[in-house]
Amino acid sequence: MTRQELAQQQCAPQKGAHRRIEGEALALALKDLHGWIEVDKHLAKDFQFGDYDQVVNFVNQVAAIAKSQDHHPDIMFGANRVRVVFTTHSVRSISINDLICAARIEAMRDAG
């Protein structure tokens, strides 16, 4: 599924190890989600900004995406950077929901 197709999907409850996205399937998805990486069964990306106002605006936009999808990342931020980390606790790994939210963040960034 392409990043654009993922961004059109809606998150849904995920349960069970069979819902995990791992190995070749994850590697294929990450090719289209530039900058997103797998770290200890979490999906993460670091973003850089010119100033703190841009950081706060981005964090608020990510929070709105997370709320709309009922899938909430860890967000760490500082003066000019943000790290967004998704995982699906119910499967103890990365699921389609994490990929959907990452794709939605990328679509939001593309829209400017």
Cα separation, 87 vs 74, in Å, equals 9
pLDDT at residue 13 greater than cutoff 90:
yes
pLDDT score recorded for residue 17: 87
pLDDT score of 1: 86
Q: Given this model, what pLDDT does residue 71 score?
A: 98
As assigned by CATH, the class of the 15-111 domain is alpha beta
- 30: Cβ–Cβ under 8 A, 6 or more apart, which residues? 36, 37, 38
Mean pLDDT of the chain: 97
Q: Are 100 and 11 in contact (CB under 8 A)?
A: yes
Residues 32-82: tens digit of each pLDDT: 999 999 999 999 999 999 999 999 999 999 999 999 999 999 999 999 999
Q: Where are the chain's structural domains?
A: 15-111
